[in-house]
Structure 1
């Protein structure tokens, strides 16, 4: 094709016209609108020539308009007469249609067909105002076309062809040509729009947030576990990591959208990765500005297009499993169930028998007396009463049916006579007279004392084969052999003996027919059952479930609930209930087992309920401190597990592959301020990227974590002794390396408080030894003092007292000195582990003051190391330990509910960014124009176009910069240690300079 300049007229070679006419004549003929005109051969020849030139003019104008629209794309219409012609949702397409109209109209001015004295010209209506511009827009339609939609199809409606003979109009025709041009303006606009959409997609859809999450998770988990393992890491997730992850994710979204990413960006990410690695060696460095300055001045070298990922570490990933066991919950419930009064009640219930008195009354003869006779005529009956006297007169024989599941302990029968005396009172005038009649009724009364072993025990109802065999108990006890006399005493003797029971049955005055009696228990029963429960406790303690670490941190799974379900599945095996009991002792043992298992399930259920409460409070803290939520955090975890999609394949157009090339300014969006001296597209001082990185559960203590777990921290102005002890240890560690008067003063104050708490705890320990053994107070004090001797500083002693090491040691020493039995030692150990001294806790002010001083000293050393960050200096500093890594952080999962099975922390990251210029170009792939490209560029400039041909451009809109906002949450879960995991520099929220406004 021969290009036609806007400021010159040209002619199309007829060789090309011949080819075009073959194609276009059939296409255009159906669109003609013909007015009456003479049919002359000269006219037709002129029209055909004009139609061919019109087709070329349309093609050239549309192609030029596509190039121009892509170079200056209108994204947001201007509030001007010309801008209001564009629809907000289709601003680019509308601006392209307007440009195409104006370019085609200009090209049509040069169209001319001639044959003899006949000429044909082509035209479109001129645009004079906004109304005309709107009409012009509607005359043009554009859409993507061709293979893989890489080209553009355009239709121009109602081009007027005017036929003149000798200058006079003799005819007009209207044509609506459709052309397909290889310009990728629409393709590139759609791709860039898709790119921006993906950049701003939330965590629920593919895009920047998901890819950023996938890159941050391995960084956070590797650094979190390194910190947990003792590495000197102050900030697990710092803004320098956010920047690196964001830029890597941006390149990934570019590859998936355009098929390739910015080569300068790929080189920059390599430099940034290396620089971040250096800063991570100098732990806690806030050298973002330093690294960015180096990055901006770096001489990039070509690197692979494959994005760099953090180096693999030995730390786990969020999808890896962790094992959670019943653990200390088994001890906690055991202590409650085996409390002497509680265990005695359980055993007594197992030895308790229900007894009842079953009776039968049968009349042998006789009956009540009839009315006594009247004394004579004239007497009136004024009263009638009967008296009785009941007496057992001898033994008898009889039977009483025994109810199901009961058995007979004693049976007896009696013959009972009931004497009736009936007296009638008569009156005649003032005289009264009595007459009487007597009779006797004989009964046979049979009574049976019956019993059953159900009682109130939790043990299932089973028969006891040796229930009343006193010699069959494994503990030389009496089983239920003594139940019969106790039952007879309660139900028979209490009612007056056998004769008295028979007489009361006849009189219907037997008030008590049911009772419970407890058999005598063997003296060894308590310890025997206790030892059996110890074995059961060990089995329950080792009950475990496997859960994903990440889902524990996002509260998608509840380990206590899963453990409860697991214990319930094992319940039959753990309870070991036989088909029949060998003895009453075995029934007592089963009752104790079931009581313990019920207590374990109830405690795990309570822990599950507490975890549900923690879940709600964590969500509240997330909402309060960030813009995140647990729901979004779970989406982020899912995103971290989702495979990254492959790059988009290169589309193939009519002439072969259509390759795109991305060119961005800046290729690496830094967190530092840049200006036009580096990139011309910048408008003064700009922040290409800004970030806010909030660590939810970090120091100071008693903050967010306290709001979640409540009793895990003391609340108010007090903290747990373990927290204060770790802070004290951090101060001691720091003072070994660096002397500092302020830190020493803060440390001394905290040490005094920790020492006082230690004294309170050790006092409680020796009191427990004295109360639960036969040791006197002096001996108990000596036992505790000797056991605690190996922990010689306040910090390590406090840690031993809070992690249970001291209590275990005291139990071993006491057992050896006092020659305790296995049961006695176990009971003492559990009592010691339950000791707490809430009256003395270190203060929040002293603990936080010491922690702040530790961080201040560490930061001074860090700044010095960074200022002299030669390789040797960095390596030396990496070997030098300060105490900041010992400062505790994170959310314990989940005191006050035991066991403490993990510590979690959450980082919520928000980034906003803007490219000063974002350009994408694509090859035309036309054989007639090798190397031709269409470039689509957005840099925020105003787009103007002279729509009315007055020499002044009207503002259509702006080529908005490509900008984005993305956010994600990262959760890290580590095993339970006081050190925990989290940012320990005292700055819970890290905001980059310029936050929250990216760009100009």
Structure 2
């Protein structure tokens, strides 16, 4: 027998059914007497009605049973291969409908007198018959909102017999509409699974999980940045909460409601995780508790939390942050105000182009004629003309001045050119010479002209008082000494005025262009330097506003935006006048433009470095996770994507069709479960597994070092500030819990920090000695007095790296040496630039100490939890065990300074599987309108006795509902050494059972 039960409908219902679902037949019969025709007609009508009932009843039963045991993947058996892979469920439903209808047709028996009518379908004996049977049945969703099912069974054979003899046959293809939601439920569950596996750019689990993780990560990240003892910003317990909340949200959007047991379990899990997080990280402080409570631990709804703009404990990824030029203004200032560089800039402003403009005109005379012959027998065999030039007096002519130039000095001369022509005469063997002489007179005019273009970056403008020494604001010569210098260069060096005029006539004047530099006032350098200090402050305060999330995903390039902003301000900042009041003003403008252009060049280099860092971050993300920056940006967009509203309740023929979701397990936990908890489980299973990779868990030497690589002289060293913070964390931990291992590592690191401090202070006093009048002894004393404010090695190291020590050295030196404002500023910038490889401790010592700190903190907390429970654990958590001081994250700097933010990335992957996923609808068969149709997938094999031999054949598998979802979260905090990131030393947190969820 097949696994289907058979059902009958009383014939008393036939009249009603004939009214609502009639089939008109017009058969042609062999001619018989009228009474026989009437009997056949009556029998056919009765059989037709019963056939319609049988089809309806069979299709309804097939729908219920196909839903209860849905075939998702066909079996690799002769019977299973009848199903198409892409339509396995519908094909199995068609097969079930055929077999159910075939069974019920056996009960059809129309009778009138000696005439009987039976109905039948071909029997199924093998796979070929089954394939033909499948093609006889079609099914589709029908009715309002597709809540019912329309089915047609083709070529049912009605056989008419009279007294047992076949009179005639007729083929009919009834179509019925039954209120069975099998197809609707299958489509909904298929949609649900599709949404669970959709990527970040489509609605589904990944988008909703992202929307939940972002507020958790940002709230906890900023709490950690603010000092809360949070070791793991994003832990797998948060991933589990976010994933389950997202699963319920997708359920509601797909089915109209979610599993009520799942909602209860999510609320309980949220509360448990909240307590656990307070114990493990918040230290019970009011601020951190508030942050954690507001950010995460209020009961989570199925709707993803929307970004909030008020009453939020910290900023979110959509909030803007201000990035300024900041330290770049000073680092560039230092390069352009180096005495040799600034001197060149100012010299160019005082440099003038000068040239000679000459004009000659012939007044009279010219070359001599043929020399006279010595006699009649002489023949001229050759001649040679020589000439000499000599200035014979002044003249009154003038020469014009070219456009853009002005006259510095003019003079005119009368110049004679005296010719002598000598002829060579020959007569026989004899040779003699005769001469002829003449004079040509010229008027020569010479002008020394100049223009202020030179090599200066300052725009070409006229200087109204260029050659007036009294007009300089610094009591200098202005350009008044350009005239004598130009005359010396172009005239005196050429032999003087007469000689220049003579050489003009002789066409032997060589150099006619030159540059000359006027003397600069002694006060000019400091005057310009002070002006640049004001400009530096304005440039430093140039800022742009960028979204924090876009900065972390490298979607925006802050240095490039700063460059564009500074370009917009360049004209105002340069302060170029229409005309210069003095040469000193031109020099000032030249220095301002030189500085601004240098800052623009540096910002351009930083923008290029930012692009290089973007590529390296993408490489690290790809190598360490399954993510990429492109996917990370999708996640950033996904968190802002408003989830689809819940599906409205569909209305069927009998009213609203409500669905109910029933899952096992209702909360997909990361823990291992077995059948003792849920019967649907098979042995021990992990309903949910997760992998949570924090890309930048340590400051350098890991992923971050691969990004900022070239910023350091050696990849085996770290910044002194990093080592100092690690040392401070070790000291803080040892104050509460003393361990030999940590103490030994602390001592090693302290020794390296002391050595680095010593090298740094040596470089400082050498700089003081080189850039002031102080001798080496006094320079040591100045630095020693300044450094006395910090006693411990870590405090000194932090002061040396954050600039506090350099500022104090300048104050002490300024007081002792009576330094001017400019001298103090020069010294400060010089001291801030001090940096050598010897001032960087080793990576091994730093990371070894950090690892020991994490181990001690973790061991102490675990011990407290085991020995004394929550209260003792809270007291331990309140202690400053030092882990919060450990730096983490990627400094967003081009490549190191200015450090404008710290970012970190978490890439999360979850895989899950429901042991049983069931959805039911509140309409059943026509005979039982209050019943429910249930669609359930549990991973079991689906069998069916297709040939009625008592042995069930395997059709396929009711695959479990499973999924994989990925997302990335980026958190960006301001630039402080603490940074943001997981500080427990585990870059990758994998749950038990990863990567195999379910069986």
Q: Determine helix, strand or coil for the equivalent of 1:89.
A: helix
The match for 1:699 is 698
The match for 2:822 is 823
Of stretches 429-438 and 570-579 in structure 1, the one that deviates more from structure 2 is 429-438
Indicate conservation of the 8 Å contact 1:714/1:720, yes or no: no
Matched, 1:846 2:845: yes
Matched, 1:201 2:195: no
Offset at residue 879 of structure 1 (A): 1.8
Offset at residue 308 of structure 1 (A): 8.3
Offset at residue 895 of structure 1 (A): 5.2
Match of 1:174 among 146, 171, 175: 171
Residues 393 and 713 from structure 1, CA distance in 2 versus in 1: closer, same or farther, beyond 3 angstroms? Answer: closer
Residues in 2 aligned to 1:378 and 1:935: alpha-carbon distance in whole angstroms = 146
The match for 1:371 is 370
For each residue in 1:307-332, what CA deviation from the matched residue of structure 2 results, as whole angstroms up to 9, or x when unmatched? 78999751110011111111101100
Q: Determine helix, strand or coil for the equivalent of 1:965.
A: strand
Indicate conservation of the 8 Å contact 2:694/2:982, yes or no: yes
Residues in 2 aligned to 1:430 and 1:912: alpha-carbon distance in whole angstroms = 123
The match for 1:67 is 64
Residues in 1 aligned to 2:677 and 2:969: alpha-carbon distance in whole angstroms = 34
The match for 1:761 is 760
Residues in 1 aligned to 2:794 and 2:302: alpha-carbon distance in whole angstroms = 52
Q: Determine helix, strand or coil for the equivalent of 2:469.
A: coil
The match for 2:18 is 21
Indicate conservation of the 8 Å contact 1:754/1:842, yes or no: yes
Q: Determine helix, strand or coil for the equivalent of 2:504.
A: helix
Q: Determine helix, strand or coil for the equivalent of 1:592.
A: helix
Residues 379 and 920 from structure 1, CA distance in 2 versus in 1: closer, same or farther, beyond 3 angstroms? Answer: farther
Please list, as runs of the form range in 1=range in 2, the aligned pairs for 1:915-934 lying within 5 A after superposition.
915-924=914-923, 929-934=928-933
Match of 1:125 among 103, 122, 127: 122
Please list, as runs of the form range in 1=range in 2, the aligned pairs for 1:511-660 lying within 5 A after superposition.
511-660=510-659
Offset at residue 424 of structure 1 (A): 2.8
Please list, as runs of the form range in 1=range in 2, the aligned pairs for 1:186-225 lying within 5 A after superposition.
186-225=183-222
Residues 443 and 11 from structure 1, CA distance in 2 versus in 1: closer, same or farther, beyond 3 angstroms? Answer: closer
Residues 819 and 9 from structure 1, CA distance in 2 versus in 1: closer, same or farther, beyond 3 angstroms? Answer: closer
Residues in 2 aligned to 1:849 and 1:174: alpha-carbon distance in whole angstroms = 86
Offset at residue 884 of structure 1 (A): 1.0
Residues in 1 aligned to 2:62 and 2:6: alpha-carbon distance in whole angstroms = 18
Residues in 2 aligned to 1:283 and 1:618: alpha-carbon distance in whole angstroms = 30
The match for 1:156 is 153
Offset at residue 283 of structure 1 (A): 2.1
Residues 958 and 392 from structure 1, CA distance in 2 versus in 1: closer, same or farther, beyond 3 angstroms? Answer: same
Residues 9 and 403 from structure 1, CA distance in 2 versus in 1: closer, same or farther, beyond 3 angstroms? Answer: closer
Q: Determine helix, strand or coil for the equivalent of 1:456.
A: coil
User: Any stretches of 5+ residues in structure 1 without a counterpart?
Assistant: 286-301
Residues in 2 aligned to 1:429 and 1:127: alpha-carbon distance in whole angstroms = 146
User: Any stretches of 5+ residues in structure 2 without a counterpart?
Assistant: 283-298
Residues in 2 aligned to 1:889 and 1:900: alpha-carbon distance in whole angstroms = 14
Q: Determine helix, strand or coil for the equivalent of 1:471.
A: helix
The match for 1:257 is 254
The match for 1:677 is 676
Residues in 2 aligned to 1:303 and 1:503: alpha-carbon distance in whole angstroms = 101
Residues in 1 aligned to 2:654 and 2:609: alpha-carbon distance in whole angstroms = 67
Residues in 2 aligned to 1:937 and 1:11: alpha-carbon distance in whole angstroms = 28
Indicate conservation of the 8 Å contact 2:60/2:925, yes or no: no
Offset at residue 428 of structure 1 (A): 4.0
Offset at residue 244 of structure 1 (A): 0.9
Matched, 1:49 2:46: yes
The match for 2:91 is 94
Offset at residue 374 of structure 1 (A): 5.2
The match for 1:980 is 979
- Aligned residue pairs total 977
The match for 1:459 is 458
Residues in 1 aligned to 2:305 and 2:275: alpha-carbon distance in whole angstroms = 16
- With normalisation by structure 2, the TM-score equals 0.95
Offset at residue 868 of structure 1 (A): 5.0
For each residue in 1:42-77, what CA deviation from the matched residue of structure 2 results, as whole angstroms up to 9, or x when unmatched? 111111111111111111111110000000000000
For each residue in 1:906-948, what CA deviation from the matched residue of structure 2 results, as whole angstroms up to 9, or x when unmatched? 1111111111111111111788634311100000000011111
The match for 1:790 is 789
Q: Determine helix, strand or coil for the equivalent of 2:852.
A: helix
Match of 2:277 among 276, 280, 289: 280
Match of 1:268 among 265, 268, 271: 265
Residues in 2 aligned to 1:515 and 1:10: alpha-carbon distance in whole angstroms = 119
Matched, 1:904 2:903: yes
Residues in 2 aligned to 1:57 and 1:378: alpha-carbon distance in whole angstroms = 155
Indicate conservation of the 8 Å contact 1:702/1:713, yes or no: no
Residues 269 and 284 from structure 1, CA distance in 2 versus in 1: closer, same or farther, beyond 3 angstroms? Answer: same
For each residue in 1:814-842, what CA deviation from the matched residue of structure 2 results, as whole angstroms up to 9, or x when unmatched? 11222211111111111111111322431
Matched, 1:892 2:891: yes
Offset at residue 495 of structure 1 (A): 1.1
- With normalisation by structure 1, the TM-score equals 0.95
Matched, 1:165 2:162: yes
Please list, as runs of the form range in 1=range in 2, the aligned pairs for 1:352-371 lying within 5 A after superposition.
352-371=351-370
Matched, 1:349 2:387: no
For each residue in 1:727-780, what CA deviation from the matched residue of structure 2 results, as whole angstroms up to 9, or x when unmatched? 100100000111111111111111011001101101111111111111222222
The match for 1:952 is 951
Residues 142 and 209 from structure 1, CA distance in 2 versus in 1: closer, same or farther, beyond 3 angstroms? Answer: same
Q: Determine helix, strand or coil for the equivalent of 1:570.
A: helix
The match for 1:299 is none
Please list, as runs of the form range in 1=range in 2, the aligned pairs for 1:485-500 lying within 5 A after superposition.
485-500=484-499
Of stretches 371-380 and 237-246 in structure 1, the one that deviates more from structure 2 is 371-380
Offset at residue 152 of structure 1 (A): 0.8
Residues in 1 aligned to 2:987 and 2:28: alpha-carbon distance in whole angstroms = 78
Offset at residue 112 of structure 1 (A): 1.4
Residues in 2 aligned to 1:307 and 1:630: alpha-carbon distance in whole angstroms = 23
Indicate conservation of the 8 Å contact 1:698/1:982, yes or no: yes
Indicate conservation of the 8 Å contact 2:388/2:418, yes or no: yes
Residues 756 and 304 from structure 1, CA distance in 2 versus in 1: closer, same or farther, beyond 3 angstroms? Answer: closer
Offset at residue 9 of structure 1 (A): 7.6
Offset at residue 181 of structure 1 (A): 0.8
Indicate conservation of the 8 Å contact 1:35/1:173, yes or no: no
Residues 685 and 651 from structure 1, CA distance in 2 versus in 1: closer, same or farther, beyond 3 angstroms? Answer: same
Indicate conservation of the 8 Å contact 2:391/2:415, yes or no: yes
Residues in 2 aligned to 1:395 and 1:841: alpha-carbon distance in whole angstroms = 76
The match for 2:292 is none
Residues 431 and 364 from structure 1, CA distance in 2 versus in 1: closer, same or farther, beyond 3 angstroms? Answer: same
Matched, 1:665 2:659: no
Residues in 2 aligned to 1:214 and 1:501: alpha-carbon distance in whole angstroms = 86
The match for 1:474 is 473
Residues in 1 aligned to 2:380 and 2:615: alpha-carbon distance in whole angstroms = 86
For the aligned residues, what is the CA RMSD?
A: 2.0
Residues 213 and 92 from structure 1, CA distance in 2 versus in 1: closer, same or farther, beyond 3 angstroms? Answer: same
Residues in 1 aligned to 2:305 and 2:679: alpha-carbon distance in whole angstroms = 28
Residues 545 and 700 from structure 1, CA distance in 2 versus in 1: closer, same or farther, beyond 3 angstroms? Answer: closer
The match for 1:748 is 747
